[in-house]
Chain A
């Protein structure tokens, strides 16, 4: 079945460092891809999404490009802030079952 694989965390960075969180997927069709973020004590929030190959989703300085050839949707940010500390979830849409399939989440910790 469809699945999402994320890099293990935690990812620990200093403020203003470059961030990459890897995400790869397995899908039989052409799913939409998502990044959600969960801040401490809160629910998940949509960060960005891409609906077809080569689309780039972006929001709040974060970017991810839908790469069909490598089945990847890596999350990047050029300069992280302490306020970016959170858990990041990669997800894909399962059109057959009409639901999202989430990765296990990657915790990001940014220190001043």
Chain B
């Protein structure tokens, strides 16, 4: 049963610290999405990649957030420095060519910045 995995599942950190979240897309999927979910803003698309190349990161605060795909099996989302307003659940999703745009979501990383 292929799944998107995300680590860590929970992270508590202090303001100003660096946070790195990791995602392993489903093997063979060539599109990876990063979302942020909060009660106030709902589900927001931060950035997405196809074949490891960034397609759009306009949803991401550029000064502190960065997203990369070092290889086809790993996507990372980094926040440096973190702020309390970054507290949210961060989801990674992946998609395969020919699946009609269906996205498969990971379980999320729940981030709390104190």
Residue numbers of B with Cβ under 8 A of A are 4, 31, 33, 42-43, 45, 48, 50, 55-56, 91, 93, 100-108
In the bound complex, do residue B106 and residue A34 qualify as a contact, i.e. CB atoms below 8 Å apart? no
- Given contacts A42-B107, A43-B107, A44-B105, A105 and B100 within 8 Å (CB-CB): no
State in angstroms the CA–CA spacing of A36 and B102 once bound together.
10
Is the CB–CB distance between B43 and A43 below 8 Å? no
Tell me the smallest distance from the CB of B48 to a CB of chain A, in Å.
6
Chain A contacts to B: CB under 8 angstroms: 32, 34, 36, 42-46, 49, 51, 89, 93, 97-100, 102, 104-105
- In the complex, how many angstroms separate the beta carbon of A21 from the nearest chain B beta carbon? 16
Q: At the interface, is chain B mostly helix, strand, loop or mixed?
A: strand
Which residues of B have CB within 8 Å of A98? 31, 50, 55, 101
Pair A34/B102 contact, Cβ less than 8 Å: yes
Residue of B nearest to A51 (CB): B100
Residues of chain B contacted by A97 (CB below 8 angstroms): 55-56
Contact A100 B103 (CB under 8 A): yes
B106 to chain A: closest residue by CB: A43
Per the bound structure, the CA–CA distance linking A34 and B106 in Å amounts to 18
Contacts of B55 in A (CB 8 A): 97-98
Task: Give chain B residues whose Cβ lies under 8 Å from the Cβ of A100.
Answer: 101, 103
